[in-house]
């Protein structure tokens, strides 16, 4: 936050040598102010009152302009830091504090101020928040928190203004969402693409709110109203794979591309269990008992018990002896597209996404849309279409309401289409 502190030089203060001191003025209120000496004096005619700076035409005998300006800027920042330090402490008058400490030769408590500055630095606090979560969440959640931090860093550079805890108001939210939606460059892309999809923006805002609430709970910062920080959500028109397509992947001959086997097997295991990637990629031997899989889900922290299907047992127990290959989500997403392509899953699919008020359409072969999350969506959709009761599927998927579950699986339209097809197949043609 910028405080009412400025550099001044007054004609009335010109001394017998024809120079006037450059001072710092802090206005605490309309009628309360303090003036501090900077130790620099120049002829008054070389002071630009409009810009509050020394004229470049200053004769060299009065000093180097660049050196003098650097010194004045440092003193100005020092005064701002001291006012901030004083205001954050009860019963400390910033005017008195400046008078007593600004021109002291010792460090006046710079170490304490440095600690104070660090304790209120947004990014240092995000690191602390992330570290505090390491014992209770998996690495994937830490990665999302770090992504939120990276987005804030990019936004800080974009708007050329430091982000502090005082920044987080309704206007900041609007500007930040606009930047994320339209201006933020996406990394790891061959061509420059700006802006994130609505759900990605929503995820960043969600974790930013969680971070700020955590800092409030721990009394690092005072209460702030986050009512304006809305988490936007988009109903995703994502794909799922049918049992027939999953079977084609499962039985795919990869004898000439053995490096793809582990990705194929891990993907199929996800389709057969319905878990999130963070859960099905890290199954431990002690989590399988009497043909049942006991998994403590990362996101909900609840234990789910799922019977292992025959094909899942073949992969998990017979082939890998409960030691599934450890691969990253990024690598799985990359290689599973090639596996799906080899399996002949190449139907052209159109997907629409929103970026702000703009709707974008992309048409790609179906294999190009396959990701680790396709497993979970495929499991839920296939079980629903096979007639498994919704409440039993939700017990595995973790959805809290049937409305959210039905929106997630996109199966109602598929089911209705199949019903209409059966009716039409039994009717005579033209």
Domain segments of the chain: what residues? Answer: 5-108, 122-217, 243-425
Q: Are the C-beta atoms of 399 and 260 separated by less than 8 Å? A: no
Which residues on adjacent β-strands are paired with residue 181? none
Instruction: Look at 325 and 192; give whichever has higher pLDDT.
Output: 325
Query: What is the b/e burial string over 120-149, where b = at least 16 CB atoms within 10 angstroms of the residue's CB?
Result: bbbeebbebbbeebeeebbeebeebbeebb
Residue 354 has pLDDT above 70, yes or no: no
Model confidence pLDDT, tens digit, residues 72-96: 888 888 888 888 777 766 667 888 8
Tell me what pLDDT residue 106 has.
53
d(CA 72, CA 356): 44
Q: Which residues pair with 33 in a beta bridge?
A: 27
Instruction: Find the mean pLDDT for residues 141-148.
Output: 89
Q: What is the pLDDT of residue 102?
A: 84
Query: What's the gap between Cα 318 and its chain centre?
Result: 40
Note the pLDDT of residue 235: 64
Give the mean pLDDT of 100-124: 67
3-state secondary structure of 32: coil
Residue % of the chain over a pLDDT of 90: 32
Given a cut of 70, whether residue 114 has pLDDT beyond it is no
pLDDT at 116 over 60: no
Residue 121 pLDDT greater than 90, yes or no: no
pLDDT in tens, 255-290: 999 999 999 999 999 999 888 887 777 788 888 888
Spatial distance between the Cα atoms of 45 and 11, rounded to a whole number of angstroms: 9
Residue range 144-173: mean pLDDT, rounded:
92
Q: How confident is the model at residue 97 (pLDDT cuts 50, 70, 90)?
A: confident
| Whether the predicted pLDDT of 113 surpasses 60 | no
Return the pLDDT at 398. 74
Question: Residue 251 pLDDT more than 90?
Answer: yes
For the full predicted model, state whether its pTM sits above 0.85: no
Residue 298 pLDDT level (bands cut at 50, 70, 90): low
Residue 289: per-residue pLDDT: 84
What fold characterizes domain 243-425? hpI Integrase; Chain A (1.10.443)
Higher pLDDT, 304 or 121: 121
Two structure tokens written together for 231: 């988490």
What residues contact residue 95 under an 8 Å CB cut-off, 6+ apart?
A: 26, 28, 32, 33, 34
Tens of pLDDT along 383-430?
888 888 988 888 887 777 888 788 777 665 666 677 678 778 888 877
Which pLDDT score, from 0 to 100, does residue 338 have?
A: 96
Residue among 367, 372, 353, 181 nearest 274 (CA) = 372
Averaged over 13-17, what is the pLDDT? 84
Per-residue confidence band for 339, with pLDDT thresholds at 50, 70 and 90: very high
The shares of helix, strand and coil residues in the chain, as percent rounded to the nearest 5, are: 50, 15, 35
Of how many residues is the chain composed?
430
Q: What is the pLDDT of residue 171?
A: 94
Q: What pLDDT band is residue 346 in, cutting at 50, 70 and 90?
A: very high
């Amino acid at each position: 936050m910028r405080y009412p502190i400025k550099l001044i030089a007054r004609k009335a203060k010109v001394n017998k040598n024809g120079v006037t001191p450059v001072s710092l003025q802090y206005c605490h209120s309309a009628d309360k102010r303090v003036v501090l000496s900077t130790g620099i004096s120049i002829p008054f005619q070389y002071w630009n009152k409009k810009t509050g700076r020394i004229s470049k035409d200053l004769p060299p005998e009065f000093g180097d302009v660049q050196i003098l300006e650097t010194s004045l800027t440092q003193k100005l920042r020092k005064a701002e830091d001291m006012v901030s330090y004083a205001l954050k402490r009860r019963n400390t008058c910033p005017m008195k504090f400046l008078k007593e400490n600004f021109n002291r030769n010792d460090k006046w408590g710079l170490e304490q101020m440095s600690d104070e500055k660090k304790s209120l630095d947004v990014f240092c606090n995000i690191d602390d928040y992330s570290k505090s979560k390491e014992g209770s969440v998996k690495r994937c959640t830490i990665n999302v928190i770090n992504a939120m931090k990276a987005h804030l860093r990019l936004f800080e550079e974009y708007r050329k203004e430091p982000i502090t805890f005082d920044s987080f108001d309704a206007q900041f939210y609007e500007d930040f969402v606009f930047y994320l939606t339209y201006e933020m460059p996406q990394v790891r892309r061959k061509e420059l693409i700006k802006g994130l999809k609505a759900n990605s923006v929503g995820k960043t805002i969600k974790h930013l709110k969680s971070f700020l609430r955590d800092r409030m709970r721990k009394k690092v910062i005072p209460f702030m109203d986050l009512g304006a920080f809305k988490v936007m959500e988009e109903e995703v028109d994502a794909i799922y794979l049918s049992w027939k397509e999953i079977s084609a992947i499962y039985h795919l001959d990869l004898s000439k591309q053995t490096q793809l086997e582990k990705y194929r097997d891990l993907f199929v295991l996800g389709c057969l269990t319905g878990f999130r990637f963070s859960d099905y990629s890290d199954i431990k031997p002690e989590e399988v008992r009497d043909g049942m899989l006991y998994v403590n889900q990362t996101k909900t922290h609840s234990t789910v018990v799922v019977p292992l299907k025959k094909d899942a047992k073949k992969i998990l127990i017979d082939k890998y002896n409960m030691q599934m290959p450890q691969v990253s989500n990024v690598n799985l997403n990359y290689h599973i597209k090639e596996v799906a392509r080899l399996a002949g899953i190449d139907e052209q699919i159109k997907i629409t996404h929103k970026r702000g008020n703009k709707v974008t359409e992309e048409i790609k072969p179906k294999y190009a849309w396959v990701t680790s999350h396709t497993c979970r969506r495929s499991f839920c959709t296939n079980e629903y279409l096979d007639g498994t009761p919704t409440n039993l599927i939700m017990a595995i998927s973790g959805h809290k309401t049937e409305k959210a579950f039905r929106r997630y699986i996109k199966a109602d339209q598929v089911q209705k289409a199949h019903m209409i097809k059966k009716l039409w197949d039994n009717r005579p043609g033209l």
